């Protein structure tokens, strides 16, 4: 049998159907019918009943918590700091903290300390020692004694007895570092980094002859190493700025502190040159007998606060204006005695206290030149003996006169080696801070 003929038979019929016009007319005629059949199938499928949604029921059941074992008092004590608000007394502040200790309150009212020492100053910090039951064990805060110097007022429970003291406490000096990246303004960045206001004022004055802090822009950086004075681990005050660096538009400005003696020092660049010119002269030709600030004495191991410098000058020594100025105040004050305030610029002013008398004819609003006599050394007000107390204020904030306003001496050859050794170490710390791309605040 010839199978090729059998295969050729269907192929011929397929070819005839494809080539026949009637085949295509028939297919076209069937299209409407097929569409109707498809639509009917879809409609019937949609019309089929859907399964019912499952029934949901809501149940409410109250769960009983397992009994908790009563915690025993730990007996641990901790210190809590509270900012003193206007009108606060010790009793009012303790009441705000939820402390109700009648025995302590009675002792405070009958305390051997003077009423002035127990008055809280607005803005100060009261530290309170408590336990987890709210029991009071002690409190402490800084205040001014009768000589106008800072003391630490401590009221504490020793055994079953309360006791009070107002002495210069033993302090520890630690170095604090801050690396501040300016985002909007230098002032805001420093405040946000919790740099103390006295450090901010000193920093501004240290670099005043090179650049104002207000000129810093976002991306500029400030690095600081400064002293923090602690009492039993609690920061109480700031000491000197030891090293500072400002990077503005990629250019670095540095300052290093060098101590001339136990009471004064100055700021120099990395080459040992004074950063500030200072006033043209000192108010009296005498040595500084008492320096500025809360200082830790390495031998006495005690703290004292002094918001200016004292000159050991004899009674009647003429006091001269160290720079051109306008007389802002000529008055008698209880603590300062006879006092004169000179305004040297919109921000900087100087104060002279304990004068025996004023220069004849000196009045508020007078213009004075550097070297003009404004008064005479004495011992009026709270003073233990004849001396001149001088303060420098930047926007009302006391700063160290020796580092911000008084003439800064050049370094002697014998001092240059000591300065070099100290500044190299500080420069290395500042370099590390500069390389950190974010703000850094070391825990004090």
pLDDT tens profile 184-195: 999 899 998 889
> Which range is most confident: 81-85, 202-206, 239-243, 366-370?
366-370
What is the per-residue pLDDT for 34?
Answer: 58
* pLDDT of residue 441 exceeding 70: no
Query: For the segment 333-386, what is each residue's pLDDT rounded down to a tens digit?
Result: 878 899 999 999 888 899 999 999 999 999 999 999 999 999 999 999 888 789
* pLDDT of residue 280 exceeding 60: yes
What is the per-residue pLDDT for 438?
Answer: 56
* pLDDT of residue 30 exceeding 70: no
Q: Are 125 and 81 in contact (CB under 8 A)?
A: yes
Rg (CA), the chain: 41
What is the per-residue pLDDT for 414?
Answer: 85
Q: What is the mean pLDDT of residues 197-220?
A: 88
* pLDDT of residue 32 exceeding 80: no
Q: What is the mean pLDDT of residues 245-264?
A: 88
What is the per-residue pLDDT for 198?
Answer: 82
The residue behind tokens 């005479």 is 376
What is the per-residue pLDDT for 341?
Answer: 96
Query: For the segment 144-154, what is each residue's pLDDT rounded down to a tens digit?
Result: 766 556 678 88
Query: For the segment 384-423, what is each residue's pLDDT rounded down to a tens digit?
Result: 789 999 999 888 888 888 888 888 888 888 889 999 988 9
Share of the chain above pLDDT 90, in %: 29
Mean pLDDT rounded to a whole number for the chain: 81
240-254, 266-280, 357-371: range with lowest mean pLDDT: 266-280
What is the per-residue pLDDT for 374?
Answer: 97
What are the φ/ψ torsions at residue 210 (nearest 5 degrees)? -110, -45
* pLDDT of residue 78 exceeding 80: yes
Please, which residues bridge with residue 265 across strands? 259
Q: Tokens in use for 435?
A: 């390389």
Number of H helices, E strands in the chain: 9, 23
Which residues lie closer than 8 Å to 10 by C-beta, 6 or more apart?
A: none
User: What is the DSSP-derived secondary structure letter of residue 215?
Assistant: G
pTM: 0.60
Write the CA distances from 380 to 150, 320, 343, 391, integer angstroms. Answer: 20, 18, 22, 16
Rounded-to-integer distance, Cα 397 and Cα 392, Å: 8
The residue behind tokens 């720079």 is 323
Q: How far apart are the first and last CA of the chain?
A: 111
Write the CA distances from 295 to 48, 64, 147, 196, 267, integer angstroms. Answer: 94, 61, 16, 16, 18
What torsion, rounded to 10 degrees, do the Cα atoms 321, 323, 327, 332 define? -40
What is the per-residue pLDDT for 208?
Answer: 85
Please, which residues bridge with residue 223 across strands? 179, 245
The residue behind tokens 């500042």 is 430
Give the containing element (helix H, strand E) for 187: helix 186-192
């Amino acid at each position: 049998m010839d199978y090729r003929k059998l295969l050729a038979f269907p192929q011929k019929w397929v070819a005839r159907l494809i080539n026949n016009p009637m085949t295509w007319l028939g297919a076209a005629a069937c299209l409407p019918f097929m569409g109707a059949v498809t639509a009917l199938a879809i409609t019937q499928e949609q019309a089929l009943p859907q399964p019912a949604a499952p029934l949901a029921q809501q149940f409410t059941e109250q769960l009983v918590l397992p009994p908790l074992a009563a915690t025993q008092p730990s007996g641990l004590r901790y210190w809590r700091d509270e900012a003193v608000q206007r009108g606060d007394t010790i009793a009012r502040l303790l009441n705000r903290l939820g402390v109700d200790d009648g025995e302590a309150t009675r002792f405070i009212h009958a305390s051997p300390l003077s009423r002035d020492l127990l008055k809280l100053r607005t803005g100060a910090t009261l530290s309170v020692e408590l336990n987890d039951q709210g029991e009071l064990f002690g409190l402490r805060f800084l205040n001014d004694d009768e000589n106008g110097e800072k003391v630490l007022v401590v009221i504490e429970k020793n055994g079953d007895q309360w006791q009070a003291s107002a002495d210069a406490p033993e302090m520890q000096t630690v170095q604090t570092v801050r690396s501040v990246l300016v985002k909007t303004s230098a002032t805001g960045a420093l405040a946000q980094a919790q740099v103390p206001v006295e450090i901010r004022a000193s920093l501004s004055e240290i670099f005043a002859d090179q650049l104002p802090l207000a000129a810093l822009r976002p991306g500029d950086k400030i690095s600081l190493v400064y002293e923090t004075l602690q009492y039993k681990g609690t920061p109480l005050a700031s000491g000197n700025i030891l090293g500072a660096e400002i990077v503005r538009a990629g250019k670095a400005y540095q300052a290093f502190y060098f101590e001339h003696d136990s009471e004064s020092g100055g700021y120099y660049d990395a080459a040992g040159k004074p950063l500030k010119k200072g006033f043209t002269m000192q108010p009296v030709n005498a040595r500084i007998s008492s320096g500025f600030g809360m200082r830790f004495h390495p031998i006495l191991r005690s703290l004292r606060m002094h918001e200016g410098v004292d000159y050991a000058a004899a009674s009647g020594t003429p006091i001269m204006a160290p720079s051109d100025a306008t007389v802002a105040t000529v008055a008698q004050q209880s603590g300062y005695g006879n006092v004169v305030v000179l305004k040297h610029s919109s921000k900087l002013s100087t104060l002279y206290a304990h004068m025996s008398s004023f220069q004849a004819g000196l009045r508020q609003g007078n213009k004075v030149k550097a070297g003009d006599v404004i008064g005479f050394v004495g011992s009026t007000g709270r003073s233990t003996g004849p001396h001149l107390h001088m303060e420098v204020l930047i926007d009302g904030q006391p700063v160290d006169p020796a580092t911000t306003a008084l003439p800064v001496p050049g370094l002697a050859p014998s001092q240059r080696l000591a300065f070099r050794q100290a500044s190299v170490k500080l420069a290395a710390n500042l370099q590390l801070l500069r390389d950190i791309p974010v703000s850094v605040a070391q825990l004090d």
